[in-house]
Structure 1
Amino acid sequence: MARADTDSADTDSGDRPGTGRSAEADGLRTAGSVAHRLIAAHLVAGRMEPGEEIGLRVDQTLTQDATGTLVMQELEALGLDRVRTEVSVQYVDHNILQADERNAEDHIFLRSGARRFGLWYSKPGNGVSHPTHMQRFGIPGKTLAGSDSHTCAAGSLGMLAVGVGGLEVALAMAGRPLHLRMPHIWGVRLTGELPPYVSAKDVILEMLRRHGVKGAVDRILEYHGPGLASLTAMDRHVIANMGAELGATATVFPADDAVRAFLRAEGREEDFTEITAEPGARYDLDEEIDLSALEPLIARPSSPGNVVPVRDVAGEPVSQAVVGSSANPGLRDFAITAAMVKGRQTAPGVSFDVNPTSREILQDLTRMGATFDLIAAGARIHQAGCLGCIGMGQAPAAGRNSLRTFPRNFPGRSGTEEDAVWLCSPETAAASALTGVITDPREWAAREGVKPPELALPEEAAVNTASLEPPPPPEVASGLPLERGPNISALPALDPLPDALEGPVLLKAGDNVSTDEISPAGAKALPYRSNIPKLAEFTFTRLDPEYPRRAAGTGKGAAHFVVGGDNYGQGSSREHAAITPRHLGLRAVIAKSFARIHWQNLANFGVLALEFDDPGDWDRIAAGDLLRLDGLRTALAPDAAPALRVHNTTRGEDYAVHHRLSPRQRETVLAGGIIPRLAAEAESAAEAESAAEAESAAEAEPAAEAEPPARE
């Protein structure tokens, strides 16, 4: 099994966008699937056996403003002088509306952090991180760790791209390996070609229709087969992006002619390396999709997994239709929308919103004349960024149907508590905007007598790097300060896990609780993303408005529990969903099962994640019950069995539970989190070094006294 060298840790990230060592130099010679080859080429610890913890060398990192402010504070806490990745980029794309001074102050802080630590800085309005990174920095064969769950979109270029918590990204920037459980590789063979008015969004919606929101947990999706030939790199981006909604660790496509064509259009063909599966490559699981048999699909409110054919819900009234987001970011997605509405008017009472995903795509759309067609049809053109996808603008009216080409429709994520958000393709959104009701675009075309549009997309993209600021040289960066506004708090102090935990169940939740429900996005909460004490006031309020007050009422330093159902913590990678409950006293979550990223984030901040041996025990616990765990330091020892017992003092019952923590994660939880663990390790190392120096000096002293006197 090939192992990668690790000298890239010393590579400066200040080269021009898109440069780096070739994939050939990284040793992509291991036989097997594309995913296996990528993992083998970057493996620095562990065995490639499903379920085993592995460590991967990280070539690139991606952070965005909703998570990046914490990452910058974590880099500071780690004592990092300069990032050790090949390329690290800080994007400002989530919270770019400046309703008051707080967002602007955070942007200033992020730019100062990027300059201080050696990251590229993408200015507000430059674009959503995922398509922009793909355009300017993505390189086949590289690994990418991002503090955004949709980082997996870069798998469209033949990269191994993984969304993780911000602290994991900070450690990767510091040159440490990315740790994760070795996933099963799920091969999805594509055949045929997509019919007219059916597009890449319908492919991933079909996967969600078949498997639901936890169907790919602990798996990497790898698409292969003859059907790939008809999918562009940006089509693949759509599919890879929403692998996160299936719970996948990553999604991988081969780097083939479609990827070469994309990089050529971006002026970066020299960054292309062909990476395909070896002949006879085998997968842990197999799936097949006949693209020619697909039809327009739509996810009903309020889950990406609640997928039905558009024809089944046709006629439902529509109040809003939004095109854009990282889930449909390509020029083609906007161009097909413009072509469908050209010369027509959207229906009365429908807000038709167009959310460009990068400055470059907006320029190309305008070069084509498509921007004018959209405006003439009644579109509202917004700035390039995430915006409505995370509830920062474009919030719909309560209870009115909003059709969006976005990746998620969790309750309240739009910024409206009583929302009704549907997820669909650009074709379905455009047809529905024109008719005022949910409409199958094939039926619309048949009624209107419209042939499928023939899109003439430019062969060369309007490359624009003016809003990408490179990091200054190290000798300049080392003297630069971090510019903090008053809304940026310090990271909370994290104390070690006590040997015994006792406290009430402050919240009992059902299945598929999302991180949006634990720590909300939206215009009310997100401006406090850098102010943990203030943001903590929003914790769990979508499930229980009284949770923060009751947590504060348990007393300073008092512990409490949360009980959850299946797939607890699905959705966004934001580590705030672990930090703010911990700040309020949460020390353990007991659930039927966990989503991958949130489970990692809980461990990173010293919260014990436990799973019921018998899921039926969930029914036996009520909110308010007093729970107790004893002997934790023994139970979490490196060689101890992963089994524990929870005692319900209120009911006089015991429940068998278990954890899935690696020895490394057990040490982390016992220490109270990664940062205190590393601080303790550094202190121990310093004490050992000091002791060794003292011993060496003591040994040298007698030797000096034993020397004979000098002759006169």
Structure 2
Amino acid sequence: MFASGAISRTWKAAAIKAPLRTFAQSATASSAKKVQMSNLEKDQYINYQRIEDNLAIPMTLAEKIVYGHLDDAHNQDIERGKSYLKLRPDRVACQDATAQMALLQFMSAGLPNVAVPSTVHCDHLIEAQIGGAKDLSRAKDINKEVYDFLSSSCAKYGLGFWRPGSGIIHQIILENYAFPGGLMIGTDSHTPNAGGLGMVAIGVGGADAVDVMADIPWELKCPKVIGVKLTGQMSGWTSAKDIILKVAGILTVKGGTGAIVEYFGPGVDTLSCTGMATICNMGAEIGATTSLFPYNSRMSDYLKATTRPYIAEWADSFQHNLKADA
């Protein structure tokens, strides 16, 4: 598959005790400069300080991001595959099929607004039967009551609403909301697609989404980390999909269960941002909790191409901590 080089795997296991931690806690910790998460949310800012204030030991990028989003870092036991972490994700995304019950449950909480930036995307209820335009029109007619409920609920509780026909949820996230070093959850199996922009993005159920929107810490079993080192470059007729298929052949369909797959090595820089996203998207085929890549110039180019140069500039200044420690 590669003209030169290879794919290799590494595992790292550790039990970390709470007294060593010195994490920043606030999702909007003040700094000399504030950079917004997206063009669509003017009052929500990226906080890289939570990664800067990490453990005084070498860590993978996945560890930096996950542990940097702990709700109570000083009292959290961390043991891969055993302890349960209480986390504070940066954002939530819901597709229309699961958003209905999630919003009904959120309404019962009696809160005026969602606690974190959240969006609803109307894509799953559109059935492919005839063709794009006719299928969209049919979906709008059949699901009018659902769409009206989602639209009005989003307006009332401060969620972003992407109407039917606006695009597929995981692609909208990549183009508008994903950012390097962030943590998000989404009620869609393709949520890990955002790992192509260096984000830990995990697919969850509607109940988990409700917890985070209601300002309740989200619980995740402390994931193991599987490192996949990419060397060399792809030969002419291969694509990013061939890489994840090769990884799947090595790990099998259950090999990534309970783990975050983190790609690294010189071969990473030969992939496009969307290619990296494709690899992360297909991590579900090996049972991975999620997958991600370290921040690099290809991600910077993608952020600029999707009208987010300010995020690229901000991430560039923190690039040393948006990758695994040596």
Task: Tell me the residue number matched to 1:93.
Answer: 123
Q: Answer yes or no: is the 8 Å Cα contact 2:180–2:322 preserved in 1.
A: no
Count of residue pairs the alignment pairs up: 276
For residues 78-89 of structure 1, what are the structure 2 equivalents within 5 Å? 78-85=109-116, 87-89=117-119
Task: Tell me the residue number matched to 2:250.
Answer: 210
1:540-586: CA deviations, max 9, x gaps?
xxxxxxxxxxxxxxxxxxxxxxxxxxxxxxxxxxxxxxxxxxxxxxx
Residue 240 of structure 2 corresponds to residue 200 of structure 1: yes
Distance (Å, rounded) in 2 between the aligned partners of 1:15 and 1:117: 19
Does 1 or 2 have the higher relative contact order (CA < 8 Å, sep 6+)?
A: 2
Residue 186 of structure 2 corresponds to residue 166 of structure 1: no
Which amino acid is the alignment partner of residue 48 of structure 1? Answer: I
Q: Answer yes or no: is the 8 Å Cα contact 1:28–1:141 preserved in 2.
A: no
* TM-score, with length taken from structure 1: 0.37
Measured after TM superposition, the shift of residue 176 of structure 1 is: 1.4
Structure 1 stretches of 4+ moved >6 Å: none
Which residue of the other structure, out of 61, 68, 71, is the alignment partner of 2:102? 71
Distance (Å, rounded) in 2 between the aligned partners of 1:271 and 1:106: 35
Distance (Å, rounded) in 1 between the aligned partners of 2:52 and 2:290: 18
Distance (Å, rounded) in 1 between the aligned partners of 2:27 and 2:184: 17
Aligned partner of residue 180 in structure 1, secondary structure: strand
Q: Answer yes or no: is the 8 Å Cα contact 2:180–2:199 preserved in 1.
A: yes
Distance (Å, rounded) in 1 between the aligned partners of 2:52 and 2:170: 24
Residue 91 of structure 2 corresponds to residue 60 of structure 1: yes
* TM-score, with length taken from structure 2: 0.79
Q: Answer yes or no: is the 8 Å Cα contact 2:37–2:311 preserved in 1.
A: no
Which residue of the other structure, out of 149, 153, 164, is the alignment partner of 2:193? 153
Measured after TM superposition, the shift of residue 278 of structure 1 is: 4.3
Distance (Å, rounded) in 2 between the aligned partners of 1:197 and 1:58: 38
**Residues 1:189 and 1:23: Cα distance change in structure 2 (over 3 Å):** farther
For residues 107-506 of structure 1, what are the structure 2 equivalents within 5 Å? 107-272=147-312, 273=315, 274=319, 275-280=321-326
Task: Tell me the residue number matched to 1:25.
Answer: 49
Aligned partner of residue 71 in structure 2, secondary structure: strand
Distance (Å, rounded) in 2 between the aligned partners of 1:278 and 1:195: 27
Aligned partner of residue 220 in structure 2, secondary structure: strand
Q: Answer yes or no: is the 8 Å Cα contact 1:216–1:246 preserved in 2.
A: yes
Aligned partner of residue 202 in structure 1, secondary structure: helix
Q: Answer yes or no: is the 8 Å Cα contact 2:197–2:295 preserved in 1.
A: yes
In structure 1, list runs of 5 or more residues that go unmatched: 281-712
Measured after TM superposition, the shift of residue 8 of structure 1 is: 4.6
Task: Tell me the residue number matched to 1:707.
Answer: none
Distance (Å, rounded) in 2 between the aligned partners of 1:22 and 1:7: 8
Residue 29 of structure 2 corresponds to residue 6 of structure 1: no
Which amino acid is the alignment partner of residue 26 of structure 1? Answer: R
Measured after TM superposition, the shift of residue 104 of structure 1 is: 2.2
Percent sequence identity over matched residues?
Answer: 32
Q: Answer yes or no: is the 8 Å Cα contact 1:18–1:138 preserved in 2.
A: no
1:308-358: CA deviations, max 9, x gaps?
xxxxxxxxxxxxxxxxxxxxxxxxxxxxxxxxxxxxxxxxxxxxxxxxxxx
1:358-395: CA deviations, max 9, x gaps?
xxxxxxxxxxxxxxxxxxxxxxxxxxxxxxxxxxxxxx
In structure 2, list runs of 5 or more residues that go unmatched: 1-20, 30-35, 127-134
1:27-75: CA deviations, max 9, x gaps?
4343411001101211124322112100111111100112111111111
Measured after TM superposition, the shift of residue 103 of structure 1 is: 1.6
- Please give the root-mean-square deviation of Cα atoms over the aligned residues, in Å: 2.1
**Residues 1:188 and 1:14: Cα distance change in structure 2 (over 3 Å):** closer
Q: Answer yes or no: is the 8 Å Cα contact 1:23–1:140 preserved in 2.
A: no
Q: Answer yes or no: is the 8 Å Cα contact 1:18–1:136 preserved in 2.
A: no
Measured after TM superposition, the shift of residue 155 of structure 1 is: 1.3
